[in-house]
Amino acid sequence: MSDATLEASAAAASPDPRGVALRRVAGHAGLMTGATLLAAIVILSLAAPLIAPHDPYAQDLAKRLAPPIWDARGDWSHPLGTDNLGRDYLSRVLWGGQISLLIGFSVMIISGLIGSTLGLVAGYFGGRIDLVVTFIVTARLALPVVLVALAVVAVASGSLLVVILVLGLLKWDRFAVVMRSATQQVRHLDYVAAARAAGASTARIILREVLPNVAPQLIVVATVEAASAILLEAALSFLGLGVQPPLPSWGLMISEAKAYMFFSFWLIAIPGTALALLVLAINLVGDGLRDTLAPDGRA
Amino acid sequence: MSLLDVERLTVDLATPQGTLHAVRGVSFAVDRGETLCLVGESGCGKSMTSLALMDLLPKAASRRAVRLSFGGVELGDLSPARMNDLRGNRIAMIFQEPMTALNPAYTIGDQMTEGFRRHKRVGRAQAEARAVDLLGRVGIASARERLGQYPHQLSGGLRQRVMIATALMCGPDLLIADEPTTALDVTIQAQILRLLGELAEEFGLALVLITHDLGVVARIATRVAVMYAGEIVETGAAADLFAAPRHPYTQGLLDCIPVPGRTPRGSRLGAIPGVVPSLVGALKGCAFRSRCRFARPDCETDIPWRVDARGHGARCVLA
Amino acid sequence: MTILIETRDVSRAFAVGRGLFAKKRMLHAVNGVSLAVREGEVLAIVGESGCGKSTLAKMLLGLLAPSAGAVLIGGTDARSLARVEIARRVQPVFQDPYSSLNPRRRIADIVALPLEVHRVGASGERRRRAVEMLERVGLPARLAPAYPGQLSGGQRQRVAIARALVMQPEIVICDEPTSALDVSVQSQILNLLMDLQRELGTTLVFISHNLAVVEHIATRVAVMYLGRVVEEAEAGALFGAPQHPYTQALLASALTPEPGLGVPDLGLGPAFPDPLSPPAGCAFHPRCNRRFAPCDAVEPVLQPRAGGRVACHLAGV
């Protein structure tokens, strides 16, 4: 096979695609901004037990509604001031971050597992299975999340666990829809046929041949869904349907502060800003990943 | 002067890696009644050349030429509006994939008559009469009914016939066909090529055919230009070029193709080792030298174009 | 010669829906095909798009079940064989080397996949065999850890061939293995297939629309038109004296680089038939320039003629 090696030896060894992907990630300004911001929020929240200056539940009624440090009347004992019960606001915001992250992460995992399993199965097998899954997705889309949450909380009373379960069991639709169409595209490619012709089992083909190639879309949906779960939790807590006092959820903090909106604006502005920054960070990361992980396809 | 006269046409593409020289100083001329085939493998710049002629290059590309004259008019000097008047009117183009080149939302009749009515400022009835006439000419039966049909209702071969009829609507002087039969089956390909040849003769067209298929070239070209890495490496009358190819790349390509009756069955076919060099950045000397079995030191210098008395030229130190 | 794989009157129909409530129509992609693949031969299946050659290939590979008839592998009905058993005997090489390799797996893992599925050896042993196979198809071992995106089209097709051969199957089914490649790469892949066929004694089923290539490499040829085999013969006989008018047209339309010959007039009608409503009688009759009385009413059967088989009323005259 003399001439066989000729063509082969010539090209070759263009850079490793993983190295290329890493360099693309590093060169993406939005992604790097989002990732830095997200990392900062995660670290600050996780380190809350170490860095929070006060117990987030400790009330000091003598120092109610103390203003934050940038106000002329503020002082360093409560850098972000205190709320209407005199609890240290900085400590509550830091601990509240844990709740938001916990909700975003858990809901993403639960709904991701349900949705991508349904989507992969529907997309891979097609036919009747696809019809059934599509029907389930349509049925799920007919359920308004907030109303269901209202009903569940009325029955089971609100708690962190209930919020996670309600959102996790309801918000898998986008995973299912995106995974289904992504799988349909990959499913008809020849490397799937080649794996079948090699005798590989269906489970193996779905997990080893299909899943890695739909992972970029999965990751992008996961970020979008995590951000949306965090916002929904805040909304539910604001309405009193979510996390119950005295837990320091950002949504709940905004809700508790609404009576003082005109006198102590920071009570709303601080958790609101924290929430906006977290969601912005996650969405920047999601957008960035969409740009950089875009399936290499034929290129 | 020829109908289309191109001298030192250059197309540069801006890419993140730097400037990609897709077409590097290509010169050729075509006259009425002639068929010029631009032939080469993927990435050789043949399609970029055709898009440059039509001024349909992508945004990232820029075109330069010493001369780009069509019917005595310098195309480089024309305003976009004047170019629009020429395009689809006196210069027509047909593409490889007739399904994507036809808009699925409009009927065949709409698409065939639109350009004609705009360029010639005539009414619908007159335009449709010409469309029916041309559809009949390209071998489509019950042409009147076809006008009301949508592209998806036609087979690939019929769609390409519709594309050809559409291109002929305004009575162009020059027809550029970019891989017009590549997506078609072999029996349909033969029919379409025959049709193109007949029409070119009947309407006195200058035909520029872009293809990768040397078989197609041999059968319909009057003149051939072989392109490699953005350059024309050999050009000549079809008979001369196929009888005695002078550039090692042309020779290599011909050796790769089994010819029944000539190539012994089951024998090893010729091969061209290596791959096309990157066209990003400056290139000097013969671009084919890294794959050429006759390469020698002076291949790295600028190689002059050598032409014999019959107009058979090659860019090679051996020629 | 031993028959390795055989189709007995196989058909495959697909339901083609037209809108939500429209009645589904049946597309008969393959219609009563009986073909035998014999040990050591290169059987070419030729025909134009929509003739059913790729559907037939999928059935030979066990990727698609026939809707009627049977595929026999080594004399056993493929339906009663396990997927891994079929895989051991028959392997594919597909047309598009860009979609036939998983972009997220390394070259060595792609080639080792069949070994892994069949639990051959430990992972080190599998890797060694994969690299050996890569070298055999002309790829340097240093490409083993690369990803498909780093390879050229020709190199990818070599990887696909290595994957097909790594389990040493009896038959490799190549579905248009060179039509997505440039001419200069195409000849290298053809050389490689011919070398491997000779050295390993692998039987090849070579599906193509390129008659010049088929004539160069095949030992026997079956011509398909609209789901049926219309002619089958030894390559020499078929190219020397084609019997069916469609085969004759196909041969004439192969454009070789010989200037001066011009483009032949095939004398065929332009209308390609709608496979959803194939014409009555001989499926080729609307395009045939030699049709006569029985052609539009009676379907010709494949019958022995001049050492091969042909399905044409002219053959009986």
CATH number at residue B238: 3.40.50.300
Cα–Cα dist B171/A207, whole Å: 58
A63's tokens: 């120092």
B242 and C213 within 8 Å at the Cβ level: the answer is no
> Mapping DSSP to helix (H, G, I), strand (E, B) and coil, where does residue B68 land?
strand
- pLDDT classification of C48: cutoffs 50, 70, 90: confident
Flag whether pLDDT at C11 surpasses 90: yes
- pLDDT classification of A37: cutoffs 50, 70, 90: very high
Residue with tokens 């399936």: A295
pLDDT at residue C17, as a whole number: 65
Cα–Cα dist A254/A261, whole Å: 9
pLDDT at residue A13, as a whole number: 43
Distance from CA of C79 to the nearest CA of B (A): 34
- pLDDT classification of C37: cutoffs 50, 70, 90: very high
Cα–Cα dist A203/A209, whole Å: 10
Question: Across residues C289-298, what is the average pLDDT?
Answer: 86
Residues of chain B positioned with their CB less than 8 A from the CB of C271: 141, 155, 158
- CA distances to B99, B148, B295, C18, C220 from B153, rounded to whole Å, are 11, 10, 53, 13, 37
Residues B101 and B47 in one domain: no
**Which tens digits make up the pLDDT trace of B204-257?**
999 999 999 999 999 999 999 999 999 999 999 999 999 999 999 999 999 999
> Mapping DSSP to helix (H, G, I), strand (E, B) and coil, where does residue B111 land?
helix
CATH H-level, domain A30-293: superfamily: MetI-like (1.10.3720.10)
Cα–Cα dist C15/C1, whole Å: 38
Distance from CA of B276 to the nearest CA of A (A): 9
- Residue whose C-alpha is closest to residue A180's, from A199, A198, A206, A202: A206
Percentage, residues of chain A above pLDDT 70: 92
Range of the domain at C191: 3-316
Which residues in chain B come in under a pLDDT of 70? 98
B270–C contact, CB cutoff 8 A: yes
- pLDDT classification of C289: cutoffs 50, 70, 90: confident
Residues B71 and B122 in one domain: no
C277–B contact, CB cutoff 8 A: no
**Which neighbouring-strand residues pair with B207?**
B35, B175
The string over C140-171, giving b where at least 16 C-beta atoms fall within 10 Å of a residue's C-beta and e elsewhere, is: eeebbebbbbbbbbbbbbbbbbbbbbbbebbb
Task: Report the DSSP pairing between strands B67-70 and C171-175.
Answer: unpaired
C146's tokens: 């690369």
Q: Kindly list the domain boundaries of chain A, sorted by start residue.
A: 30-293
- Residue whose C-alpha is closest to residue B271's, from C88, C191, C68, A73: C191
C187 and B256 within 8 Å at the Cβ level: the answer is yes
Cα–Cα dist C172/C163, whole Å: 11
Question: Across residues C28-51, what is the average pLDDT?
Answer: 91
Bigger pLDDT: A246 or C77?
A: C77
A223's tokens: 């970020």
Option in B268, B271, B275 nearest A11 (CB):
B275
Sheet architecture: strand order including C228-234: C90-93, C171-175, C203-208, C42-46, C220-225, C228-234, C308-310, C303-305
- Residue whose C-alpha is closest to residue C28's, from C17, C18, C46, C14: C14
Option in C83, C86, C150 nearest A14 (CB):
C150
- pLDDT classification of A63: cutoffs 50, 70, 90: confident
Residues of chain B positioned with their CB less than 8 A from the CB of C158: none
Q: Which chains touch A (3 or more CB pairs under 8 A)?
A: B, C
Cα–Cα dist A241/A148, whole Å: 10
Mean residue pLDDT of chain A comes to 83
Percentage, residues of chain A above pLDDT 90: 35
**Which tens digits make up the pLDDT trace of A211-238?**
999 988 898 899 999 999 888 888 888 8
Contact predicate C134/C143, CB 8 Å: yes
Helix (H) or strand (E) holding C27: strand C25-38
B187 and C209 within 8 Å at the Cβ level: the answer is no
Cα–Cα dist C10/C30, whole Å: 7
- Which residues make Cβ contacts (< 8 Å) with residue B287, sequence separation at least 6? B228, B229, B230, B231, B276, B277
Q: Which of C90, C102, C166, C172 to mutate to test the interface with A (most CBs of A within 10 A)?
A: C102
Bigger pLDDT: A57 or A297?
A: A57
Mean residue pLDDT of chain C comes to 89
Q: Residue C47 belongs to a domain with what CATH number? A: 3.40.50.300
Say how many domains are in chain C: 1
Least confident of A76-90, A220-234, B264-278, C190-204: A76-90
C142 and A13 within 8 Å at the Cβ level: the answer is yes
The dihedral built from the CA positions of residue B232, B235, B238 and B239, taken in this order, carries a sign that is negative
Q: Which of C104, C117, C178 to mutate to test the interface with A (most CBs of A within 10 A)?
A: C104
- For A:1-20, CB contacts with C below 8 A are 1, 3-9, 11-17
B214 and C194 within 8 Å at the Cβ level: the answer is no
Burial of B37 by CB count in 10 Å (0-12 exposed, 13-18 middle, 19+ buried)?
buried
A4 and C192 within 8 Å at the Cβ level: the answer is yes
Mean residue pLDDT of chain B comes to 89
- Which residues make Cβ contacts (< 8 Å) with residue B82, sequence separation at least 6? none
ipTM here: 0.87
pLDDT at residue A15, as a whole number: 59
Residues of chain B positioned with their CB less than 8 A from the CB of C266: 187, 190-191
Flag whether pLDDT at A245 surpasses 70: yes
Residues of chain C positioned with their CB less than 8 A from the CB of B221: 259
- CA distances to B8, B64, B92 from B67, rounded to whole Å, are 7, 9, 20
Question: Does residue B89 fall inside a structural domain?
Answer: no
- pLDDT classification of A10: cutoffs 50, 70, 90: very low
Cα–Cα dist C18/C26, whole Å: 11
- Residue whose C-alpha is closest to residue C255's, from C314, C211, C293: C211
Bigger pLDDT: B293 or A1?
A: B293
- DSSP-assigned states of every residue in chain A: -TTHHHHHHHS--PPPHHHHHHHHHHT-HHHHHHHHHHHHHHHHHHTHHHH-SS-TT---GGGTT---TTSTT--TTSTT-B-TT--BHHHHHHHHHHHHHHHHHHHHHHHHHHHHHHHHHHHHH-HHHHHHHHHHHHHHHTS-HHHHHHHHHHHH---HHHHHHHHHHHTTHHHHHHHHHHHHHHHTSHHHHHHHHTT--HHHIIIIIIHHHHHHHHHHHHHHHHHHHHHHHHHHHHTTSSSPTTS--HHHHHHHHGGGTTT-THHHHHHHHHHHHHHHHHHHHHHHHHHHHS--TT-
B132's tokens: 């029916």
Q: A201 — alpha (psi -120 to 50), left (phi > 0) or beta? A: beta
Residue with tokens 């042309």: B250
- CA distances to C43, C72, C95 from C37, rounded to whole Å, are 7, 10, 21
Q: Which of B149, B169, B189 is the last residue of a domain?
A: B169
Say how many domains are in chain B: 2
Flag whether pLDDT at C314 surpasses 90: no
C256 and B260 within 8 Å at the Cβ level: the answer is yes
B271–C contact, CB cutoff 8 A: yes
Residue type, A288: G
Helix (H) or strand (E) holding B139: none
A209 and C137 within 8 Å at the Cβ level: the answer is no
Question: Does residue B111 fall inside a structural domain?
Answer: yes
pLDDT at residue C19, as a whole number: 56
Option in C63, C104, C139 nearest A197 (CB):
C63
pLDDT at residue B101, as a whole number: 80
Range of the domain at B163: 97-169
pLDDT at residue A8, as a whole number: 38
Flag whether pLDDT at C21 surpasses 90: no
Q: Which of A21-25, A71-75, A80-84, C247-251 is most confident? A: C247-251
Contact predicate A259/A190, CB 8 Å: no
- For B:149-168, CB contacts with C below 8 A are 155-158, 161
Flag whether pLDDT at A299 surpasses 50: no
Distance from CA of C295 to the nearest CA of A (A): 38
Q: Dihedral angle at the C-alpha atoms of C186, C189, C190, C195, nearest 10 degrees?
A: 160
pLDDT at residue A7, as a whole number: 41
Q: Which of B268, B275, B289 to mutate to test the interface with A (most CBs of A within 10 A)?
A: B275
Residue B239 has, within 13 A of its CA and on its CB side, a CA count of: 4
Residue with tokens 């409530």: C21
pLDDT at residue B156, as a whole number: 77
Residue type, A46: L
Contact predicate C114/C167, CB 8 Å: yes
pLDDT at residue C44, as a whole number: 96
**Which tens digits make up the pLDDT trace of A105-142?**
999 999 999 999 999 999 999 889 999 999 999 999 99
pLDDT at residue A16, as a whole number: 65
Residues of chain A positioned with their CB less than 8 A from the CB of C158: 4, 8
Contact predicate B174/B94, CB 8 Å: no
B265's tokens: 């069955």
DSSP B87: B
A12 and C188 within 8 Å at the Cβ level: the answer is no
Q: A27 — alpha (psi -120 to 50), left (phi > 0) or beta? A: alpha
User: What is the total residue count of chain C?
Assistant: 317
A198–C contact, CB cutoff 8 A: yes
A7–B contact, CB cutoff 8 A: yes
Flag whether pLDDT at A269 surpasses 80: yes
C163's tokens: 């994957």
- pLDDT classification of A17: cutoffs 50, 70, 90: low
Least confident of A50-54, A272-276, A295-299, C142-146: A295-299
C118 and A298 within 8 Å at the Cβ level: the answer is no
The dihedral built from the CA positions of residue C132, C134, C136 and C139, taken in this order, carries a sign that is negative
Question: Across residues C144-149, what is the average pLDDT?
Answer: 91
Flag whether pLDDT at A294 surpasses 70: no
